Amino acid sequence: MIPLVLVHGFMGGSAQWLPQIAGLSGQRDIIAVDLPGFGLNTHLPVINTIGGFADWVIAELRRQGVKRYHLLGHSMGGMIVQEMVRRDQGHVESLILYGTGAIGVLPGRFETIAESKARAERDGLRVTARRIAATWFLKGEAASGYEDCAALAEQSASAALPAGLDAMQAWSGADGLADIKPKTTIIWGDSDRTYSWDQTQLLWRSIPSASLAVVPGCAHAVHAEKPDVFNLLVLDGLSGVGGDE
């Protein structure tokens, strides 16, 4: 069976995908990576470019013997998977872009990248992790998934915060959207404070084979806020693409 590779975003990790691993196991093989500096890989040297992250994930998949795969990226991970498609397009069966966009410097983001960098340096890892995690959820700190998300964000290496923010600030993939060939599903929560509708619409209108799913009553963590809905959308995005081997 061709695996689905899950790529988390800034201050995330493979543990954020537990509702997907539980809900999709038996229907899909899942590979959930931890990017250098995050999750279970805080011991690895940090990376400060989106292209560098993409190369790292591709190399990790090859190390595991994976040559063909479906690909899902969340937030900064959505930027990373766009770069992976450009570098490894012949090996990507389908693409799911979730809560993400085509540029790293986001108009309308809950705060600018520069503000995030300044506040992270001033406030430290724990405060920054918990503050950013709250922005992921429609109900903020009152959301049922908030504490798990915040705890995962707190695991991030201190050096990974400025490195990840630098990676996003320096990246744009807007000029390459028309060259993304695999079937693409775009998932967006209608109350996402990080990626505005304009960014979502740009992906939807610019990628030739893109379809769009807007999930009501969710912010930046649809996978945690409405996991059953999210899992159904993922399965639908994978349907009819590539044979299982």
CATH code, 89: 3.40.50.1820
Does a structural domain hold residue 81? yes
| pLDDT digits 0-9 by tens, 16-68 | 999 999 999 888 999 999 999 999 999 999 999 999 999 999 999 999 999 99
Name the E strands within 25-152. 30-32, 69-74, 92-98
pLDDT (tens digit per residue) in 131-144: 999 999 999 999 99
Give the separation between CA 129 and CA 118, rounded to whole angstroms: 14
Instruction: Report the pLDDT value the prediction gives residue 245, as an integer from 0 to 100.
Output: 44
Domain that holds residue 61: 4-238
* Residue 147 domain-assigned (yes or no): yes
What residue ranges of the chain have pLDDT lower than 50? 245
| Predicted local distance difference test score (pLDDT) of residue 243 | 56
Our count of domains for the chain comes to 1
Residues 97, 123: Cα–Cα separation, whole Å:
31
- Classify 240 as helix, strand or coil: coil
Q: Residue 243 falls within a domain, yes or no?
A: no
Residue matched to tokens 């990246």: 171
Domain-located, residue 234: yes
Which pLDDT score, from 0 to 100, does residue 99 have? 97
CA dist 4 and 123 (Å) reads: 36
- Separation in Å, CA 94 to CA 131, 138, 140, 184: 33, 29, 32, 6
Chain centroid to CA 193 = 15
Question: 102 lies in a domain?
Answer: yes
CA gap 231, 69 in Å, rounded? 17
> What is the reported pLDDT for 47?
98
Query: Which pLDDT score, from 0 to 100, does residue 102 have?
Result: 95
Domain assignment present for 244: no
* Helix (H/G/I), strand (E/B), else coil: 136: coil
pLDDT at 121: 87
Residue 245 maps to a domain: no
How are strands ordered across the β-sheet holding 92-98?
Answer: 30-32, 4-7, 69-74, 92-98, 183-189, 210-215
DSSP labels for 185-206?
Answer: EEEEETT-SSS-HHHHHHHHHH
Sign of the CA dihedral with 85 first, then 82, 44, and 163 last? positive
Across the chain, the runs of DSSP E, i.e. the strands, are 4-7, 30-32, 69-74, 92-98, 183-189, 210-215
Residue 47 lies in a domain: yes
Q: Within 10 Å of residue 49's Cβ, how many Cβ atoms?
A: 15
Structure tokens at 37: 């500096």
